[in-house]
């Protein structure tokens, strides 16, 4: 079936481009001499995660337990959870995963570590732990090398936890002194640094420079190496490097310079930045806005004429957000449908 014969809006992933992106990032990290750990938040699909692992990813990263469960039940192992796991329901689920998978979690407080330790101990499992250090991400993470050392010592003493090292996000060279001091403190105290994990697509080189053992990248599956090579025109959106697109249908042509398509806020989430996406069939068409159920396209820049029923394929600027909105994801090669996936990772926010 051709992708234009799908009911719309339809999320389509071009497998040739996806596989190229996965290969290229793996080769990039191999060239740098840093281990890649693929982040699955971007695609939420166990088969894509397996392709990442086959290309050289050391295990996977998840941020939500729901994603980790979906990955683990589909055979993926060595899962790093870069999120504070808090609350009785969640620590139970984590301990359950640790029964049959190697699990490592990040923590930034004794409260988080204690909750996990208590449940792991009750269930007779071991959970690996990385201390999260804030490197100006202003999100989670302890705020100083001394605080990282103190928490690592506490974690070492908690039952059923195994200290495995350090984690930070993003990987920034400006944080080098802080990271060096933390590494020195860990080394002097004999604290494990089996893993030092950095992250962020486009910052693989920085992780290497900072002396990290591994780098977590996620969005590269959808963006290719655009952040490394510098985005060109239209924020680097192009069918050659962006495998994910959304096929939409023109549902109205209200004026000579306006079209309305059935891709909307509920299809694309909110595009975070201009130019809001590239329309593959006619780059002179500009997405001028989205409302809840309608997509607004400015057609004043094109000579072509459009009619109700025409198909327009959009590469959105925020592909990860799109992945999380749709029940079905279509895989295609050369615009022919290969497989329609039930998107099991969708909405796994817990």
Ligand X SMILES: Cc1ncc(COP(=O)(O)O)c(C=O)c1O
In angstroms, give the least distance from the CB of 60 to ligand X.
11
- 320-331 burial code (b ≥16 CB/10 A, e <16): bebbbbbeebbb
User: From the CB of 82, what's the least distance to ligand X, in Å?
Assistant: 4
Find the binder of ligand X among 28, 39, 43, 241 (CB under 6 A): 39
Could you tell me if 181 and 145 are in contact, meaning their C-beta atoms sit under 8 angstroms apart?
Answer: yes
Does position 145 interact with ligand X (CB under 6 A)? The reply is: no
Query: Binding string to ligand X for residues 87 to 126, with x set by CB under 6 A, is what?
Result: ----------------------------------------
171 binds ligand X (CB under 6 A): no
CA distance 31 to 28: 5
Residue 122 CB, nearest distance to ligand X (Å)?
A: 28
Could you tell me the maximum CA-CA distance found in the chain, to the nearest angstrom?
Answer: 72
Closer CB to ligand X, 200 or 316, in the complex:
200
Residue among 134 and 149 whose Cβ is closer to ligand X = 134
Q: Which of 8, 57, 82, 249 binds ligand X (CB under 6 A)?
A: 82
Q: Is 217 in the site for ligand X (CB under 6 A)?
A: yes
Burial of residue 294 (number of CB atoms within 10 Å: 0-12, 13-18, 19+): middle
Nearer to ligand X, 39 or 241 (CB): 39
What backbone phi and psi angles, to 5 degrees, belong to 183? -60, -40
Our finding on whether 38 is near ligand X (CB under 6 A) is: no
How far apart are alpha carbons 299 and 287 in whole angstroms?
9
Which parts of 196-215 interact with ligand X (CB under 6 A)?
199-201
Of residues 8 and 135, the one with the C-beta less far from ligand X: 135
Q: In whole angstroms, what is the distance from residue 190 CA to residue 11 CA?
A: 50
9 vs 236 by CB, closer to ligand X: 236
What is the Cα–Cα distance from 38 to 48, expressed in whole angstroms?
Answer: 10
Number of residues that bind ligand X (CB under 6 A): 11
Residue closest to ligand X, measured at CB: 199
Residues β-bridged to residue 331? 13, 339
Q: Does 169 bind ligand X (CB under 6 A)?
A: yes
Instruction: For residue 69, give the 3-state DSSP assignment.
Output: helix
CB atoms within 10 A of CB 205: 17
* Least gap, CB of 328 to ligand X (angstroms): 23
Q: Which residue has the tokens 């808090």?
A: 86
Q: Where along the sequence are the contacts to ligand X (CB under 6 A)?
A: 39, 42, 82, 169, 199-201, 216-219
């Amino acid at each position: 079936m051709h992708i234009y014969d799908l009911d719309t809006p339809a999320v389509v992933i071009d497998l040739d481009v996806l596989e190229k992106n996965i290969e290229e990032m793996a080769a990039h990290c191999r060239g740098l001499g840093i281990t890649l750990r693929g982040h699955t938040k971007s695609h939420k699909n166990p088969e894509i995660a397996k392709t990442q692992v086959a290309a050289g990813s050391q295990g996977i990263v998840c941020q939500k337990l729901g994603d980790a469960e979906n990955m683990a039940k589909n055979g993926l192992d060595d899962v790093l959870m870069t999120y504070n796991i808090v609350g009785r329901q969640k620590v139970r689920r984590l301990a359950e995963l640790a029964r049959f998978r190697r699990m490592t979690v990040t923590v930034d407080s004794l409260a988080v570590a204690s909750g996990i330790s208590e449940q792991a101990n009750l269930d007779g499992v071991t959970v690996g732990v990385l201390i999260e250090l804030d490197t100006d991400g202003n999100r989670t993470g302890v705020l100083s090398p001394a605080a990282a050392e103190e928490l690592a010592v506490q974690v070492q003493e908690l039952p059923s936890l195994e200290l495995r090292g350090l984690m930070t996000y993003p990987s920034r060279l400006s944080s080098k002194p802080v990271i060096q001091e933390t590494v020195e403190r860990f080394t002097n105290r004999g604290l494990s640094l089996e893993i030092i994990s950095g992250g962020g697509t486009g910052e693989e080189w920085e992780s290497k420079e900072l002396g990290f053992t591994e780098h977590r990248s996620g969005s590269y599956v959808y963006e290719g190496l655009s952040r490394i090579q510098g985005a060109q025109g239209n924020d680097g959106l192009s069918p050659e490097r962006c495998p994910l697109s959304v096929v939409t249908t023109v549902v109205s042509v209200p004026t000579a310079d306006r079209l309305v398509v059935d891709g909307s806020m509920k299809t694309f989430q909110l595009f975070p930045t201009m130019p809001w996406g590239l329309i593959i069939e006619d780059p002179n068409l500009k997405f001028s806005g989205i409302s809840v159920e309608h997509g607004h396209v400015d057609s004043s820049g094109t000579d072509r004429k459009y009619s109700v029923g025409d198909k327009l394929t959009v590469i959105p600027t925020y592909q990860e957000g799109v992945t999380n909105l749709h029940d079905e994801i279509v895989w295609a090669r050369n615009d022919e449908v290969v497989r329609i996936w039930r998107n099991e990772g969708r909405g796994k926010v817990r």
